[in-house]
Structure 1
Amino acid sequence: MGRSTAPLHGGDLRRAAAVYGPREFIDFSANINLLGPPPQVWQVLSENLKDVVHYPDPHLEGLKADLASFLQVDSACILPGNGGAELIYLLPRLEGVRQVLIPAPTFAEYAEAAQACKVPIRYCPDLDHLEQGDMLFLCNPNNPTGKLTPKEQVWQLAQRADKQGALLVVDEAFIDFTPEGRAASAAPLVKDCERLIVLYSLTKLFAIPGLRLGCLVASRTLIDVLRQLQPPWSVNCLAELAGRAALGDESFRERTRKATAEEREFLYQGLLAQQGLTPYPSAANFIFVAIDDPSWTGTTVTDALGRRGILVRNCANFEGLEGDRHIRVAVRTRQENERLLRELADLLGGSR
């Protein structure tokens, strides 16, 4: 059977094993906290496995209270969900959404969610086309580019959306990895803007993507509507416990920001020194990289690294990117980052 060269979704270790053979991969394709989960997450999971014989809490008042404190919002303005993806898929179902605006390139699930609801999509190169749709998705910082839109600009967009009767959806899955941390978040602005929606994923910061936990912050009116669209028991009992255990650990967040900043700079400078590559500055825990060497493509670099046990994200299927010329790499530990740089140097011919 021939090897598939289609872009792998980040973190798809099972498919990677099917393509490259079973092995221990170093996974730069998924943008997960390089520190792994906080210690108390492991503890609460091991101590509460017995709870899986019971239904989860359908109201999640304790989790919402903890999220409210963490995000600095009213708990009545929070809707927990089965990861950010579940909540993204609810949004195009809102009444009055006839066209979705998506800046490109960005996270593909926004378009997938709109298509699932048969809502037309309009891709736009920037954020100046709000009048052309009923809902605008803004990934901040953006995936895959790592660009952070300043909070002041988000506020201006939210005010424009409010005046035009459009919805602004800000996805802050990676906001905790930015130099500003939670200070860059638009979540507290929801109280002053009826048509602002902020998505937050706990799976990135706390390294629990397999548990699936996220939340949506919006006005009470929107939360009431979205709750009616959401299936019951979206958040399982272990995800709830893990989230609550992790949210109170401020020292973990500080360690995460420090480690991410150090390793992001190390990896960026190492990529900058590589022949045939141009990395883009990033505010997130990943780096967007252009392949300049004409003898290589995003697909061939991804495939060559995969055969060496290293997974990176081929960006060939991101809307708005011309040609097969980009990859995205997560910021990982120093030892792992050094391994990636060595393998790239071996493939591409060393440093500049």
Structure 2
Amino acid sequence: MYKNGEKHGIVIINYFADYFLHGFKSLDVVDVFISDSRGNYILHPDKSKQFAKNRKVNANIFTDFPFLKDQKEKSSVYKSEHAIGKIISLNNDRYFYALYKINTSYLNKIHLQQFIISIIFYIFSAIFAFMFSFWFSRYCADIYDKRVKEIASLKNATKDMKETIGELSGTVYTDPLTGAYNRRYFDEKVDLFLKTDVGFGIIMVDLDNFKEINDTFGHVIGDKVLTDFTKIVLENIRDTDFLTRWGGDEFCLIIFDLNKKVLLSIAEKLRRLTAEHDFELNTKVTCSAGISIRKNGEDAQQAFKRADEALYSAKENGRNIVILKDS
């Protein structure tokens, strides 16, 4: 286009070129570059570089975008970072280069926004991570404290249960008055000894004239005599031996020893200590004892029968004596 003999613009005679230009005129974020086949700018975001050759200004598309320099294929699209170029043909001999590039200020703006968003994201991520870790640590601490309290409570409950079981076991297997074992404990123990075929000594002890003590001094005094006697026996036998209240004023002592002299010595010691003990009565309290030995393989009933017969003989022979019946 000429005015007063000077070039003032271009006439778009190619429909595709016009369509191409029209598509980018409204996009502020895209810079459009168009040059002739020699690289001289026809359209440039900087108006001073348009038709620069005529004004002797150094501006060329090949200098600014070297990747277009060797491109000759008119049907191809050529790409570089943030830029896309294409050769647009006017006819077989004439063509021009069209290129669009994302605006640098827009890219900087996008980068700044991305940076700000990243910073905000990292800040919120750090805050969230801190809050989550704080919450999770408190949650774990609460769970731990709860479990510790549960374990402590369980230990206390277990301890109480053991004590209760111990108390119940004591009441199940002991005589409530004297503290000696009862017949139930005796039967279970003896059954166990018989299953393992263990030999043991039997000392049947009976307080002499106990009925007269009860009748004269009353049952309260009689109970005290029984408890005092039990204490004498328990303090003078081994932990492996055990005392059972057989019934009334009769007791059975199981000694894990088959030696006659040992059994006689134990029984005689208990008889002497009973006779010497001060039961706080105006009469002497004595006891009689019958001994037998349950040998390996022997029927237990026979051994108990012999001990009972030996005790009866001690009673018949004046009381306050010890008799052993071996067979």
Which TM-score bucket, shorter chain as reference? under 0.3
Larger Rg: 2
Give the helix-richer structure, 1 or 2: 2
TM-score (structure 2 length as normaliser): 0.21
Give the strand-richer structure, 1 or 2: 2
TM-score (structure 1 length as normaliser): 0.20
1 or 2 for the larger relative contact order (CA 8 Å, sep ≥6)?
1
